[in-house]
Amino acid sequence: MIMDKILHLVENISTKKRRMDTLTKFKDEKAVIGFIGTGVMGKSMVRHLLLGGYEVVIYNRTKKKAEDLLKEGANWGSTPKDVAERSHIIITMVGYPSDVENLYLGEEGIIHNCKTGCILIDMTTSSPTLARKIHKIGSERGIFTLDAPVSGGDIGAREGKLSIMVGGELEQFEKVKPLLNLLGTNVIYQGESGAGQHTKMCNQITIASNMIGVSEALVYAKKSGLNPDTVLKSITSGAAGSWSLSNLVPRMIQEDFTPGFYVKHFIKDLKIALESAKEMGIKTPGLELALSMYEELALKGEENSGTQAIIKLLEE
């Protein structure tokens, strides 16, 4: 028993040393991190990389939205091609699968212009099928790709506490895990290419029905004459507890519908999940209901609101 504990301790120390060696290796070689997509979440993620001591080259379609990052030490890439040519590791965080496909596979995009041996990490929630396509094309050119979507919204990104779900080659995951640890506290390797995106679909399917439930509960609390804040104190620590209940219901109570995650992007995610589920012959009635409600919400002009705006449908 004592010997087992000693061996376990030695193994932990060895693992930590390997991770630190990898991080040191990147820095010793003056690895440049490219980051494309400095939106609500991407901006905070870049800040964590800068605080981690990395040189970061950023690109965003609207440069003005990235000016604060430039003042904080990031370098500007004039185009995705420019970022690709200057970087050793490239992280992308954009909106839609179509954006991902153009960004990676276009003639002026990443794969056609990055260095051999470059590691590409797409943190956009996108299609598992597209992730595998990008991986195949990248592999043929000597480029490594990981699909690594995240969960945690603007709060998780700001606090460096994202959950990161990674698909791709295990060896490449181990190389960049110290980097990902700067962005999240729950960084899990899920399997081969596409597995990260499939895991994110599980995440979004869970959230979809949960968002309906927490909204209905809040409306019920208000209609029955209860104080929503005290109700929240009682149910968040019980069996009903969830991230959405703890982080989004307080915003609903305050009628704060600013986006931690856009309605329009959630609709995109739910459509990908539904398409993938149908391909596997899975019935998802909860997912279908949630998608229909969010599409109705978008038609009412709320596509750029946060996902918590779903309560507006129930309060009408």
* Residue after which a domain boundary falls, among 192, 211, 239: 192
- Encode burial over 14-40: b for 16+ CB neighbours within 10 A, e otherwise: eeeeeeeebbeebeeeebbbbbbbbbb
The range of the structural domain enclosing residue 79 comes to: 31-192
Specify the CATH number for the domain of residue 69.
3.40.50.720
Count CA atoms closer than 13 A to 119's CA, side-chain side.
23
Domain assignment of residue 187, yes or no:
yes
pLDDT at 144: 98
Q: Which of 200, 278, 300, 312 is catalytic?
A: 200
- 2 inside domain: no
Does residue 40 share a domain with residue 161? yes
Tell me: do 86 and 168 sit in the same domain.
yes
- Residue 263 corresponds to which tokens in the numbers above? 């309605």
The predicted structure's pLDDT at residue 205:
96
Q: Is residue 1 part of a domain?
A: no
Note the pLDDT of residue 314. 95
With respect to residue 259, please indicate whether it lies within any of the assigned structural domains: yes
Number of domains observed in the structure of the chain: 2
pLDDT for the residue 2: 52
- Specify the pLDDT at position 29: 56
What the block records as the tokens of 266 is 């959630």
Residues 167 and 219 in one domain: no
Residue 264 lies in a domain: yes
Q: Do 39 and 187 share a domain, yes or no?
A: yes
Q: Are residues 177 and 215 in the same domain?
A: no
Q: Which residue has the tokens 């398409």?
A: 275
The pair of three-digit structure tokens given for residue 265, joined into one six-digit string: 């992007």
Q: Is 14 contained in some domain?
A: no
What pTM was computed for the model?
A: 0.87
Cα-based torsion angle of the residue sequence 70, 74, 80, 86 in order, rounded to the nearest 10 degrees? 140
Same domain, residue pair 38 and 141: yes
Residue-level pLDDT at 71: 96
For position 301, which CATH number holds?
A: 1.10.1040.10
Instruction: Tell me, yes or no, whether 99 and 223 share the same domain.
Output: no
- CB 49 within 8 Å of CB 35: yes
Q: What is the 3-state secondary structure (H, E, C) of 70-116?
A: HHCCCEECCCHHHHHHHCCEEEECCCCHHHHHHHHHCCCCCCCCCCC
In the numeric block, which tokens belong to residue 292?
């229909």
- Whole-angstrom Cα distance, residue 153 to residue 310? 16
CB 36 within 8 A of CB 91: yes
Same structural domain, 103 and 127: yes
Does 200 participate in catalysis according to the annotation? yes
The DSSP call for residue 306 is B
- Residue 10 lies inside a defined structural domain of this protein: no
Residue that is last in its domain, among 175, 192, 209: 192
**37 domain residue, yes or no:** yes
CA atoms within 13 A on the CB side of 234: 9
- pLDDT (tens place) for every residue of the chain, 316 residues total: 454 545 445 444 443 443 344 444 454 456 899 999 999 899 999 999 999 999 999 999 999 989 999 999 999 999 999 999 999 999 999 999 999 999 999 999 999 999 999 999 999 999 999 999 999 999 999 999 999 999 998 899 999 999 999 999 999 999 999 999 999 999 999 999 999 999 999 999 999 999 999 999 999 999 999 999 999 999 999 999 999 999 999 999 999 999 989 999 999 999 999 999 999 999 999 999 999 999 999 999 999 999 999 999 999 8
CA-to-CA distance for 92 and 119, rounded, in angstroms?
11
Interval 183-204: pLDDT, tens = 999 999 999 999 999 999 999 9
